[in-house]
Amino acid sequence: AQSVTQPDIHITVSEGASLELRCNYSYGATPYLFWYVQSPGQGLQLLLKYFSGDTLVQGIKGFEAEFKRSQSSFNLRKPSVHWSDAAEYFCAVGVMEYGNKLVFGAGTILRVKS
């Protein structure tokens, strides 16, 4: 069965510091991978996606993620965090067997300290 693991429940970083959020997936086929961000009480906003090709993908708000097949990972990075990045981040794998359902990780809550 497909699964996504986000090992860190909470992460706190200082404003201006770099950020890396970890994501590991389990999926038998070539994965479609996504990162979403959710502000409190809101829906999910798509940050970036990986379907194929270049393993380093760029997204919105200065985020990027790198797909590493050998490690089954898709970690999210940002070189300099802003206070407005405080939110919950979800990694997801797209199961494209018949349709395109998403399997999500449990999320990582990012706190930014000034």
Partner 1 sequence: DAGVTQSPTHLIKTRGQQVTLRCSPKSGHDTVSWYQQALGQGPQFIFQYYEEEERQRGNFPDRFSGHQFPNYSSELNVNALLLGDSALYLCASSLPRGEQYFGPGTRLTVT
Is position 31 an interface residue for partner 1 (rule: CB under 8 A)?
no
Minimum distance of partner 1 from residue 53's CB (angstroms)? 15
Calpha distance 76→22 (Å, rounded): 7
Q: Which residues pair with 12 in a beta bridge?
A: 111
Is position 99 an interface residue for partner 1 (rule: CB under 8 A)?
yes
- DSSP track, 43-64: -EEEEEEE-SS-SEEE-GGG-E
Is position 67 an interface residue for partner 1 (rule: CB under 8 A)?
no
Exactly one of 49, 60, 83, 111 binds partner 1 (CB under 8 A); that residue is 49
Query: Which residues make up the interface to partner 1 (CB under 8 A)?
Result: 4, 34, 36, 41-46, 49, 90, 92, 94, 96, 98-107
